[in-house]
Structure 1
Amino acid sequence: MLDNIYIAKFKKIGIFLVVFTLIFIFFFFTLKYTLPFVLGFIIAISTKKANLYLQKKLKVSPGISAIITTTIVFAILGVAITLLVYKTTTEVILLLSKVPSIDKLSLYIERFLMEITELVGQIDPQVVSTLYGYLQGLLTGALGIGIRVLNKILSIVLSLPSMFLIAIISFIATYFISKDYSIFSKSFYSIFSIDGKAKMRSIVESAITMTLGYAKAYMLVVFITFVQTFIGFSILKINYALILSIMCALLDLLPIVGTIIIYIPLIAYNFYIGNTLVAVGLIVLYIIVTVMRQIIEPKIVSTTLDLHPILILAAIFIGLKVSGVIGMIYFISLLVAYKILVKVNVI
């Protein structure tokens, strides 16, 4: 029989799993309605220290410090997003206009196999037929994924009016949350007893610190992938370097099949048209990006969350297998929440 201490702990863990899962599901199902306020809360929390600094050093009111930090953050985001949208839209439209059709793709594959046959010598027709079907399926799949990603990016760009409305509401929400943060905080903690207040404050502060830390860490990983890819593509003079680098950074969230979806077609195409040096350069660049990601991701993320790298890798892999990116977010969030509750002796 198990010790009563462990039985009690397992019960707490079971309750935690059920409650956390319900909260997670509720959060994501309502996110389309609460997005501006969630963004406002995140930005307000992120600028909390800056607001306190301004209030202390400049002797300004919370309202003044809130409008200053909110305006600065949204101005920086606005300029960055505007430039990114302009450049991205231009490249996406040009790229979509030059994407080959399935018939042209089949023709390229046939030519490619004919050239290989001439170079290698006589090949069994059955082998050629099998290879043709395999390559056609592989490249068609990669092309389909690429087109879907490009169309998704373009649809996001074309939804600018709704995004602009979200930005305005987020700006207002950020300002009021930043301005009245202390009031909201006191109102929230007032419902707890003295002991409960201290414990809840510890839970909230740990949750905010670790969650923001994880978000910053993963944004850094994606940003490093983007910078490496963009610099490499620019040096190799790859067309549409910006949009392809953005796609690589986003696809880098997926293990194994991430950036390779972009790199393989580029490498094959450059070999096909005779740009051997560029193709070899892309292979070297892919190896560098992959190795760097494998080195820095577990270290940065696990150090920030104070979790062992194997737990992070397991959460990412299992989550993506179970339910894609949402599953990955769920399992990572589950680990973080469990770590926080253990830290404050709730579990």
Structure 2
Amino acid sequence: MQNIQQRLERLAIFFVIYTLFFYLFFSTLKYTLPFVLAIIFALILRSPTKFMIEKLKLKSWIASILSTLVFFSTLISLNVIILTSLVSELIGLIKYLQKLITNNSSDIYNYFMSLQNYLNNLNIDPTIVDTIQRNLSSYATKVINLTIGAGSSIVQETLTILGYVPYIGMVVIFTLITTYFFTKKVSTSNTLTLANVIPNNSDKLITIFNHVRKMLKNYFLSYLFIIFITFIFTFIGFTIFKVQYSLVLSILCAVLDLLPVVGMPIIYFPLALMNIASKNYINGIGILILYAIVFVVRQIIEPKIMSSSLGINPLAVLASIFIGIQVAGISGIIFCMFLVVFYEILKKVDVL
């Protein structure tokens, strides 16, 4: 009984400390972002920098500058190309949707009128029919207004993002400089344990740090792989159904896949409805079936990939995803997933 009580006390302390750390980390991320990114980039650049030092016999500061500059030049160039292409494709897509709705507005109106007439001919309670009709009308109006106003919304959002350019520029400069110093430090170290940062620490602390590093790396690689699978399935399906702007829409689906449940339907459902409204029923139904396939595949592979890469029980992964969605959406998933990860780490080193 005493052992159970002690374990519950340790679990309570762990939960409180983890919650406080999680809150402090994300609430102060605006101020610590350059240093967090610099640590991540430095770990990525460690191997190529060590290669230049050991094989090419370059001095550590020269190798660190070269790897940092090449990495940032590549990263910034890729981001500029991708963002420019996405904005251009999105504007073209919005114009296409606006033109489609304008040219087919009468057909859309007739479709909803025939649907209402069909509902009126059914032997259903009039109050239920009235509720369905009002909801259909409301949703149709929202979709049309959203599509028509999407062009101006993109322009407004672009202007808003441009307002953050000074902050983004400052973050890039500070991240670049800090990455250089961190890269120089880690590339000249023989190990990547906590002993390189805090001397005279305990073996248990080093073990915890190494487990955290390994599991965080596995976590991000696993999620990147899941998003990549979503992109591949979506791109192949959209290409088969000859969907216009299939590449940009597939990329958007992969990015929106980070938003559980509501992410991918933002792209899939309007596309399916658009095809059905254009009397292209095969493509419309095919896109809905494709969404169902991608959704089911993702739900099957995510727990398996996450559990195999992190060494966590698949039920724990499913529970953290479901509870996280219910509590706070994507931030809730991050909170619950890392809660499970750190719990497993501390359990492995006999802290919990």
Shift of 1:240: 3.4
* Counterpart check, 1:216 vs 2:221: yes
TM-score, structure 1 normalization: 0.83
SS state at 1:189 partner: coil
Report the AA paired with residue 221 of structure 1: I
8 A contact 2:116–2:133 mirrored in 1: no
* Counterpart check, 1:325 vs 2:334: no
CA distance in 1, matches of 2:62, 2:324: 43
- Bigger drift between 84-93 and 70-79 goes to 70-79
* Counterpart check, 1:135 vs 2:140: no
Report the AA paired with residue 56 of structure 2: L
- Bigger drift between 334-343 and 68-77 goes to 68-77
Residue in structure 1 matched with residue 4 of structure 2 by the alignment: 6
Residue in structure 2 matched with residue 114 of structure 1 by the alignment: 113
Residue in structure 1 matched with residue 86 of structure 2 by the alignment: 88
* Counterpart check, 1:306 vs 2:311: yes
Q: Provide, for residues 21-56 of structure 1, a one-character-per-residue CA deviation record: whole Å limited to 9, x for no partner.
A: 111111111101111211111111233344344434
Q: Provide, for residues 225-276 of structure 1, a one-character-per-residue CA deviation record: whole Å limited to 9, x for no partner.
A: 1232233223433233344323322332344333123212211111111112
TM-score, structure 2 normalization: 0.82
- Bigger drift between 305-314 and 119-128 goes to 119-128
8 A contact 2:260–2:329 mirrored in 1: no
* Counterpart check, 1:287 vs 2:285: no
Residue in structure 2 matched with residue 40 of structure 1 by the alignment: 38
Alignment of 1:58-69 (within 5 A): 58-69=56-67
8 A contact 1:319–1:329 mirrored in 2: yes
CA distance in 2, matches of 1:70, 1:87: 26
Q: Provide, for residues 284-310 of structure 1, a one-character-per-residue CA deviation record: whole Å limited to 9, x for no partner.
A: 321331232123211211111110111
SS state at 2:312 partner: coil
CA distance in 2, matches of 1:231, 1:165: 39
- Bigger drift between 300-309 and 91-100 goes to 91-100
8 A contact 2:38–2:182 mirrored in 1: yes
- Bigger drift between 176-185 and 306-315 goes to 176-185
8 A contact 1:202–1:344 mirrored in 2: yes
Report the AA paired with residue 188 of structure 1: V
Q: Which of 192, 197, 203 is the matching residue for 1:188? A: 197
8 A contact 1:54–1:65 mirrored in 2: yes
Alignment of 1:236-251 (within 5 A): 236-251=241-256
SS state at 1:346 partner: coil
Alignment of 1:96-175 (within 5 A): 96-97=94-95, 110-116=109-115, 122-123=121-122, 126=126, 129-139=130-140, 154=158, 158=162, 159-175=164-180
8 A contact 1:36–1:173 mirrored in 2: yes
- Bigger drift between 252-261 and 169-178 goes to 252-261
Q: Provide, for residues 176-219 of structure 1, a one-character-per-residue CA deviation record: whole Å limited to 9, x for no partner.
A: 11102367955632153xxx1x2211111111110111011111
Residue in structure 2 matched with residue 266 of structure 1 by the alignment: 271
- Bigger drift between 311-320 and 176-185 goes to 176-185
Report the AA paired with residue 83 of structure 1: I
SS state at 1:256 partner: coil
Q: Give the superposed CA RMSD.
A: 3.4
Q: Provide, for residues 112-132 of structure 1, a one-character-per-residue CA deviation record: whole Å limited to 9, x for no partner.
A: 223446789945794664333
Residue in structure 2 matched with residue 71 of structure 1 by the alignment: 69
CA distance in 2, matches of 1:19, 1:292: 36
8 A contact 2:120–2:129 mirrored in 1: no
Report the AA paired with residue 112 of structure 1: Y
Report the AA paired with residue 328 of structure 2: S
SS state at 2:28 partner: helix
Report the AA paired with residue 131 of structure 2: T
Report the AA paired with residue 324 of structure 1: G
Q: Provide, for residues 92-135 of structure 1, a one-character-per-residue CA deviation record: whole Å limited to 9, x for no partner.
A: 3334456659x989976542223446789945794664333222
CA distance in 2, matches of 1:145, 1:335: 39
- Bigger drift between 285-294 and 268-277 goes to 285-294
Aligned length: 340
Shift of 1:84: 0.9
Report the AA paired with residue 189 of structure 1: I
Report the AA paired with residue 78 of structure 2: A
CA distance in 2, matches of 1:315, 1:145: 33
CA distance in 1, matches of 2:158, 2:179: 28
